[in-house]
């Protein structure tokens, strides 16, 4: 009787360990999928994945926009062109966000980027439904090319 009880306890412990390992691996894959991905700056701080700072929230919004864009079908040539333009803007915005956030005390620079992030999110949503306002993308690109947003 004692041997049977020992075997049952051993099986339960092994099952619990295997479950914990599988859960940890799944969590790690999910974390990596959320923090990296298409169109994101590779040098973004890892802390931004869960931080509540304005720059972290903007980074996560850009990551969500990039994932949404990546999930959409390719479509025709015009849609592909629009998609590439949006991907490039997401990449530029995220890189610029990392640069602006690295300057101490530059909260206004981060705040100035919020409208551009909203415009990119709107462009991704439009691409999924009706098509993108290319004038909006061109205005965003001009502002990105000019340097810091809002200046």
Each residue's pLDDT tens digit, 6-50: 899 999 999 999 998 888 888 777 766 555 555 577 888 888 888
* 108: Cβ contacts below 8 Å, ≥ 6 apart: 150
pTM of the model: 0.65
pLDDT of 151 > 50? The answer is no
CA distance 150 to 113: 8
CA distance 110 to 57: 10
Each residue's pLDDT tens digit, 88-131: 999 999 999 999 988 888 778 888 899 999 999 999 988 887 76
Query: What does the pLDDT read at residue 104?
Result: 84
Helix (H) or strand (E) holding 68: helix 54-71
């Amino acid at each position: 009787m004692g041997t049977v009880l020992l075997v049952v306890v051993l099986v339960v412990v092994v099952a619990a360990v295997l479950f914990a390992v599988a859960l940890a691996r799944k969590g790690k894959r999910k974390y990596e999928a959320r923090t990296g991905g298409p169109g994101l700056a590779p040098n973004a701080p890892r802390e931004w994945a869960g931080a509540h700072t304005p720059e972290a929230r903007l980074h996560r919004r850009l990551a969500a926009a990039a994932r949404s864009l990546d999930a959409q079908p390719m479509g025709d040539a015009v849609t592909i062109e629009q998609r590439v333009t949006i991907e490039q803007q997401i990449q530029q915005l995220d890189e610029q966000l990392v640069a602006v956030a690295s300057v101490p005390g530059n909260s206004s620079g981060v705040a100035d980027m919020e409208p551009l992030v909203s415009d990119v999110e709107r462009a991704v949503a439009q691409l999924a439904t009706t098509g993108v306002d290319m004038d909006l993308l061109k205005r965003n690109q001009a502002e990105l090319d000019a340097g810091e947003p809002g200046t």
